[in-house]
Structure 1
Amino acid sequence: MLLTAHHQDDQAETVLLQLLRGSGVAGLSGMDRANQAADLLGDDALWMGRPLLDISRDSLEAWAQQHQLLHVEDESNADPRYARNALRHHVMPLIATDFPGFQQRFVRTAQHMQSAQRLLIELAEQDLSACLVDHCIDVAKLAGFSRDRVDNLLRYWFGSRGVRMPSTAWLNEMRAQLFEAKEDAQLCVTHADCEIHRYRQKVFMTPRIDPAALPQAAQAFVWAGESSLYFPAFGGTLHIEPAEEGMSAAWLAAQSLCLDVRRGGEVLKLAANRPTRSLKAHYQAGDVPPWERVRLPIVFADKQLIYAAGIGMDCHAFAPAKGDRLQFRWVFDHENG
């Protein structure tokens, strides 16, 4: 635990600064008595404690003088170009003239806001749990909440995923599109850190996809018995695994293979007793969202499509006789671990 000398006046400055910036309940909660110092010092095991938040600056200075403690003043503390210093030197003395003891009231306000924030987090956890389906949010369940509860849930969802908190205007726009767009619309709202999609009445949060970062050309390769092959340009690994039915090792090793992304018009037959269908039809049947389809790689042997990630193997590549058989499996980098 790292102890710091933040005091009552610092807490009052924090609350006033957040109030002027238009912060919500979380901002008006001021400084916590203790919290992880990972963001500041990069150590998850280190906590920062502020045991002096209820004590005024004057009381601390008097105690320091009584015990003849020496201190060093940071010269930047006098620079009014910093917002906190402008409040400390120009604004707070004027407030203290007409409202003596306002610091204590600001500290109590921060304590009330901390309590309110804890309740909002508790409610958001319950609401998100009720709406969450396979890491995405059920729009029908979300629509049953009031606007304030929806916003509280979405803000908590963003925070829990490590995404920067959206502005009120952005949140209003996203909420409107989630509920007002046509049911079959493939909605995408772009955030600085992610993309928000609505697909089949579910809300997904996905990493932002830069079209320029998608593979622009196919990559030829051969298989020489490896259990996996890494393709950095495609952002993942192709695993070659034993299976009850699949390709023979000898046949696979003799092929000129190629990894690519879907260009349009490709077809695949999953089994002898199933019809040949387009990849689009397979993706729709498998409930694969459109934004994932553009990144999922496919494998050709010469010009024959033999595998599509997110769908499976083409049965034409299966060996007719029994024996050791192999199938492909694709895993993106972000799915590991």
Structure 2
Amino acid sequence: MASSRKSKSDNISRRAQHVLRTQVQTGDHLTVALSGGVDSAVLLHLLVPLVSQMQLPLSAVHVNHGISPNADKWSEFCRNLCQSRNIPLEIARVKVMREPGISLEAAAREERYRIFRNLQTDYVVLAQHLDDQAETLLLQLLRGAGVKGLSAMPVVRTVRKEMDEQVSTGPVPALERRPKLLRPLLDVSRREIEDYAREHALQWITDESNDEVSFDRNFLRHALFPLLEMRFPAYRTTFLRASRHMAEASALLDELAEVDSAQCAVPGKLHVEDLRKLGLPRARNLLRYTLAQHGVILPSTVKLEEILRQLLSSCPDTKLHVIFGNTEIRCFRSRVHIRKVQAIPAARWHLVWQGEECLPTPEFGGTLRFTRCIGAGIGLQKINEQSITIRLRQGGERLRPDCNRPRRSLKNLLREASLPPWQRQRLPLIFSGEQLVCVPGIGVDCDFQAADDEQGLVVEWQANPGSPWGGREIPHSA
């Protein structure tokens, strides 16, 4: 019997080692997500000898959600466990804020992943296992998820930023040093993990909420799956096989969407006419794919259908504006813009420039850069007696960027520059006293342009990724 238990224990270790050797390179830093429960305690116990063999730095992170009255005791348990094994531990305390329509489980999970994606590590190692796969599949099925939602959790994937940080007018940018999630126990059952823990006399904590069947996952675990196992004992591996089929189908749909996306008139943006050329299923697939590429949490099926209907029925001059969550979709000249909803600063907002080379303006969603240059930009001699301020449009502003043409309304200049209306509302304007002297991307007023031998001030506007500008840079135009 002892030999049999040892064989099972070695089997789990070999499976975990196989995952590490196929996914991780020598020197990669691993950080265990340590809750203190039996799953993560076993994971930590498995990894300690493996990382030593493979020469991998190992640390741990514990997220204290503050939900349970025992949360601090769990943190202390994790601290003692890591100290006994000489493993560095970071304890992150978070405050879980529930929003309407978001469960406590989902809100807590988002806080954990927010911590994970900011860790300075190569891999965050999670203890999710075969039973977790089965629970996730059935929960997603009960929510009416599509093939992507029914796909199996992958062994490895990048920690994605969620929509509050990533919604932009272009695809989600690749960020340096973003950690990946690694799940080396996905083909190991909960029963095997518990047997391993008892065999090695491990200690762990038990979350009292694990027995509360008011949580959907706990209901499946305690009420449904024991009954299901009596009739279908292999349901875990069967569910896993079904999820992998769904993952394959999802990958094929993404490939189809990439082909359709490549036909768009502007890379990274949908064109309404391109959507009309597709059948409804392909148009729906392309819209869903594009939203996912922008880091958006997808809307409900009903909302997605409504967005698609409005897009397909829109005209070039239609001012389409659809909001879901904190994301909005707009159309400008038949191109679809996806961005985060942001409030417009107060109309009388202004900021005094005090000689900074770099001036962040979060109210506008970007940064102004001021560069001194001979013969270009705003002539410094022409503004040395007036303060320089940055303001929003009030309406009625006029500018003469071309000395051979009359002064014109800023409204017409912005329209000719093909700037979408919502970006015009956030365009920073440069004033000297009460005179508009420069509009980034449009030009410097003729009366304030630097002479060829005069020192000038070139103004550039750089939008932040995720802002309504989508990372777009608007240089000064003379």
Q: Give TM class, smaller chain.
A: 0.7 to 0.9
Letter in 2 for 1:105: T
Asked whether 1:315 is paired with 2:432, we answer no
Q: Quote how far apart the aligned CAs of 1:318 are.
A: 2.3
Let me know the Cα RMSD of the aligned residues: 3.2
Asked whether 1:302 is paired with 2:436, we answer no
Asked whether 1:17 is paired with 2:139, we answer yes
1:28 pairs with 132, 150, 166, which one? 150
Show the 5 A alignment for 1:1-337.
6-36=128-158, 44-45=178-179, 47-51=181-185, 53=187, 60=192, 64=196, 68-70=199-201, 72=204, 74=206, 75-131=208-264, 133=266, 135-211=268-344, 214-219=345-350, 221=352, 226-231=356-361, 233-235=363-365, 236-242=367-373, 244-319=375-450, 322-334=453-465, 335=471
The whole-number CA distance in structure 2 between the counterparts of 1:260 and 1:216 is: 9
The answer (yes or no) to whether the contact 2:275–2:312 under 8 Å persists in 1 is: no
Letter in 2 for 1:121: D
Residue deviations 1:31-82 (CA, integer Å, cap 9, x gap): 323345688xxx94454223452x5556x379649x9344557354333222
The whole-number CA distance in structure 1 between the counterparts of 2:353 and 2:139 is: 62
The answer (yes or no) to whether the contact 2:387–2:433 under 8 Å persists in 1 is: yes
The answer (yes or no) to whether the contact 2:253–2:285 under 8 Å persists in 1 is: yes
Three-state SS of the structure 2 residue aligned to 1:111 is helix
The answer (yes or no) to whether the contact 2:377–2:450 under 8 Å persists in 1 is: yes
Q: Measured at CA, do residues 313 and 105 of structure 1 come closer, stay the same or move farther in structure 2, by a change above 3 Å?
A: same
The whole-number CA distance in structure 2 between the counterparts of 1:217 and 1:295 is: 13
Q: Quote how far apart the aligned CAs of 1:231 are.
A: 4.7
Q: Quote how far apart the aligned CAs of 1:239 are.
A: 1.8
For structure 1, list consecutive stretches of 5 or more residues without a partner in the other structure.
none
Q: Measured at CA, do residues 241 and 170 of structure 1 come closer, stay the same or move farther in structure 2, by a change above 3 Å?
A: farther
- Higher alpha-carbon deviation: 86-95 or 314-323: 314-323
Three-state SS of the structure 2 residue aligned to 1:131 is coil
Q: Quote how far apart the aligned CAs of 1:279 are.
A: 1.1
Identity %: 34
Q: Measured at CA, do residues 62 and 230 of structure 1 come closer, stay the same or move farther in structure 2, by a change above 3 Å?
A: closer
TM-score, scaled to structure 2: 0.60
The answer (yes or no) to whether the contact 2:379–2:451 under 8 Å persists in 1 is: no
Letter in 2 for 1:111: R
Q: Measured at CA, do residues 272 and 82 of structure 1 come closer, stay the same or move farther in structure 2, by a change above 3 Å?
A: same
Letter in 2 for 1:192: G
Three-state SS of the structure 1 residue aligned to 2:454 is coil
TM-score, scaled to structure 1: 0.83
Q: Measured at CA, do residues 301 and 145 of structure 1 come closer, stay the same or move farther in structure 2, by a change above 3 Å?
A: same
Q: Quote how far apart the aligned CAs of 1:220 are.
A: 6.4
Q: Quote how far apart the aligned CAs of 1:14 are.
A: 2.3
The answer (yes or no) to whether the contact 1:215–1:233 under 8 Å persists in 2 is: no
Q: Measured at CA, do residues 311 and 13 of structure 1 come closer, stay the same or move farther in structure 2, by a change above 3 Å?
A: same
Q: Measured at CA, do residues 34 and 218 of structure 1 come closer, stay the same or move farther in structure 2, by a change above 3 Å?
A: closer
Q: Measured at CA, do residues 81 and 234 of structure 1 come closer, stay the same or move farther in structure 2, by a change above 3 Å?
A: closer
Q: Quote how far apart the aligned CAs of 1:5 are.
A: 6.0
- Count the aligned residue pairs: 328
Q: Measured at CA, do residues 138 and 61 of structure 1 come closer, stay the same or move farther in structure 2, by a change above 3 Å?
A: closer
The whole-number CA distance in structure 2 between the counterparts of 1:258 and 1:63 is: 69
